[in-house]
Structure 1
Amino acid sequence: MRIIVAGWLRYAGDDKTCAAIITGGAEHILAAREEQGCVAYTWAVDPIDPGVIQVYEEWESEEDLLRHFVDPAYAKMRAHLETYELTGFGVRLYGTCGVEPVYGEDGWPRREIFGVTLEDAA
């Protein structure tokens, strides 16, 4: 089952703090992207609230994510993040039973997603 990790981290400091955290953590992000089963791994400064980092990860399986948690690169990433004052967070795991494209071949949003149509949703 594909696993998504998504959420946010809030840090104390000025509006440049989160940008510095991401820039300083680039090697950790790149290392995670090279791990087995990593589909996506990114941190981004929230464009509305620059004190927040938005986190998004996608893993091929639960096993791949669990291996990530014991990889030395993960420990280094945690150590990097812990050098800054974390004031709040909300990061969650999401499991997916399938993956489908959002848009059809015509470039428009699909009218059916995982067997549910727009009419079913009405």
Structure 2
Amino acid sequence: MRIIVAGTLRFAGDASLCSEIIRGGADHIASSREEAGCAAYNWAVDPLDPGLIHVYEEWESERALLSHFAHSSYAAMRDHLGRYDLTGFAVQIYSAAGVEPVYDEDGSPRKEIFGVTLNPQEG
């Protein structure tokens, strides 16, 4: 089962702080991306709220994510983040039972997702 880790981290400081945090953690991010079972690993500064970092990770399985938690890259990133004033944390783990593309073969947004179709009166 695919596992998603997603959410936000908020830090006290000026507008450049979150960019500094991500640049300073780039080696840890790169190392995490190379771990077995990592399908995606990205941290990004919110374009409208420069004190907010969005976290997105995708793992092939629960075991892959648990292995990440035991990996040196995870410990190094926690140590790196510990040097800053974290004022908000809202990161969650989600399980994904299925994956489908957003667009159909014609390039249009899907009209059906996982067997659910929007009733014309709803849209």
What TM-score, normalized to structure 2? 0.96
Partner in structure 2 of residue 117 of structure 1: 117
**AA of the residue aligned to 1:97:** A
Deviation string, structure 1 residues 77-121 (Cα, Å, up to 9, x no partner)? 110011111001100111010101010111111111001112289
Matches within 5 A, 1:57-76: 57-76=57-76
What TM-score, normalized to structure 1? 0.96
Runs of 4+ in 1 over 6 A off after TM superposition: none
Matched residues, number: 122
Q: What SS does the corresponding residue of 1:105 show, helix, strand or coil?
A: coil
**AA of the residue aligned to 2:38:** C
Gaps of 5+ in 2: none
Residues 120, 113 of structure 1: alpha-carbon distance in 2 compared, 3 angstrom cutoff: farther
**What is the RMSD of the two structures over their aligned residues, measured on CA atoms?**
1.2
Deviation string, structure 1 residues 17-69 (Cα, Å, up to 9, x no partner)? 00000001000100000001101000000011100100000000000000000
Q: What SS does the corresponding residue of 2:30 show, helix, strand or coil?
A: helix
**AA of the residue aligned to 1:95:** S
Gaps of 5+ in 1: none
**AA of the residue aligned to 1:74:** Y
